[in-house]
Structure 1
Amino acid sequence: MLTIDFVPGAPNWLDLGTPDVDAAAAFYRELFGWEFQSAGPDAGGYGFFRLGDRVVAAAGLLTEEGARSAWTLYFHTTDAQATTKAVEQAGGTVRFGPFDVFTAGRMAGFTDPTGADFAVWEPADVAGLEEVTAPGTLCWTELYTTDASAAKDFYRSVFSWDLRDVDFGPGYTLVTPSGGGQDAQHGGIMQLQPENLAAGTTSDWHPYFEVIDCDTTAARAAEHGATALIAPMDAENVGRLAMFTDPFGATFAVITSAMV
């Protein structure tokens, strides 16, 4: 389960790259009740999604040439420079090297060997998200990958994750920070199936947001311009989930967990 007691390798930040921050903010306000707060005139349009008084995500304009709208997951590191070196040694690509974000912390962005983008956050003044797991917040992370074996080797090398293969759909692996135990599981790695690969599906990390009622949220998402990728479905002993792209193409999922 995700918590805000961040440890190395655990998700600690999440942001949306989008061509229209205002329109994206309006969509997620309708879906989750989030309010958008600008980070200030020097932040280039970047700002924070708040649920009540807690920061639960962030968003900013797309800045990389050719970038598509997407959610980016950040994983906790105590040394962004050392993680960058580990990524390179494990066969990943550095999209942007470590840099300071004012006094908040230090970040870097990467692509794993199978093509999935992710980032790391080395905290200073800002530890990370202020709430997770509750309704309207991040509760799970999932990598859909073209090569699960290569992905598992890569992330194990970079973050020392504990990985456990389970019988939950074809080729599913549970992810836990090193030494965290089963209660600290924060995500899964799933092998894309031949039909997905034939259709051109690429490797991507997807955030899951907890919701009170998956079906109601799915209907609301469609009403406000989202496209359904997975219609609401039950996952035994897990909950009821659905997956979408938002009006600008960023993929995310929602789940009403069996046990919250």
Structure 2
Amino acid sequence: MYWMDLSEGDLMFYRDVFGWSSTVDAFTLDGAVVAGHGAPAIPGSGPRWSLHVQVDDVARVCAGADVLAGPVDSAMGKTAVLADPAGAAFVVREPGRQASCLHKPMALTWAELCTNDLAGARTFYSGLFGWNPIDIVMEMPAGKVDYAVFMAGEAEVGGVLPAEGAFAPAEPSYWLPYVEVTDADAIAARAVEAGGAVPVAPFDIPRIGRVALLAGRSGETLAVMQMPS
């Protein structure tokens, strides 16, 4: 995952919480692009964050998945909206515009698939992108859950876990972006002050960090992660 995009959300909320500025179609931090915003990438979805995967050939990838929209050409690169067999939607994009700020405080640092079909997700994403799932056990609010880290070669590209063990799910299966922060508790408090909500209060995951789930003023959700000291 290398990009996230907000559709139909309240842009000012993210200025207040993360200190982002906004241009006509992007969020920036100190002049660096951290995310996009605009019309819904996922048709009829309403306010939400969508996650994007960079691919070499959108048309080829579309042949292996359920296509919800596209492919279309734009200044952002050729894109299409796909869904996995459990219904989790995501965007694929050929190389084009991308975030210039990743894996830093106040920027996208992780992506997580919460699914009601863990075995199917492993097979689907391995076949579509060549990602290799590595199994681990994760401590979540509901207790210990089976978790897998998707690897693209030596790079970690995202995680997958059962929806019932994840953050309070709004859908049976969905992708969730994580923004890196230096103080998860302070960011959660700032989100409430800005008129949003904190559906899952900050909590610690051993060896991973301190995480929380935020909801913007328009209801869309994303997670934040404070790395271990």
TM-score exceeds 0.5: yes
Secondary structure, aligned partner of 1:210: strand
Alpha-carbon spacing, 1:75–1:211, altered in 2? closer, same or farther (3 Å):
same
Does the alignment pair 1:59 with 2:37? Answer: yes
Checking the alignment, whether the CA contact within 8 Å between 1:139 and 1:209 is kept in structure 2 is: yes
Letter in 1 for 2:161: M
**Candidates 81, 85, 91, aligned match of 2:59:** 81
**Candidates 153, 156, 174, aligned match of 2:149:** 174
Does the alignment pair 1:95 with 2:81? Answer: no
Instruction: Within 5 Å, give how 1:167-246 maps onto structure 2.
Output: 167-168=137-138, 169-177=144-152, 179=153, 181=154, 184-193=155-164, 201-246=171-216
Does the alignment pair 1:17 with 2:3? Answer: no
Greater share of strand residues, 1 or 2?
2
Alpha-carbon spacing, 1:57–1:244, altered in 2? closer, same or farther (3 Å):
same
Q: How big is the shift at 1:195?
A: 10
Aligned CA RMSD, in angstroms, stands at 2.0
Match of 2:16 in 1: 30
Q: How big is the shift at 1:68?
A: 2.3
Checking the alignment, whether the CA contact within 8 Å between 2:41 and 2:91 is kept in structure 1 is: no
Match of 1:163 in 2: 133
Match of 2:93 in 1: 121
Secondary structure, aligned partner of 1:81: helix
- The size of the alignment, in residue pairs, is 224
Q: Which moved more, 1:165-174 or 1:63-72?
A: 63-72
Unaligned runs of 5+ in 2: 139-143
Alpha-carbon spacing, 1:156–1:65, altered in 2? closer, same or farther (3 Å):
closer
Q: How big is the shift at 1:65?
A: 5.5
Distance 1:204 1:149 in 2: 15
Once the two structures are superposed, residues 100-150 of structure 1 have per-residue CA deviations (whole angstroms, 9 ceiling, x without a partner) of 103x411111111111110111014x2x11010110000000011111111
Letter in 1 for 2:13: F
Unaligned runs of 5+ in 1: 1-10, 39-46, 88-92
**Candidates 96, 106, 117, aligned match of 1:136:** 106
Match of 2:141 in 1: none
Letter in 1 for 2:150: V
Letter in 2 for 1:190: L
Alpha-carbon spacing, 1:159–1:95, altered in 2? closer, same or farther (3 Å):
same
Checking the alignment, whether the CA contact within 8 Å between 1:68 and 1:249 is kept in structure 2 is: no
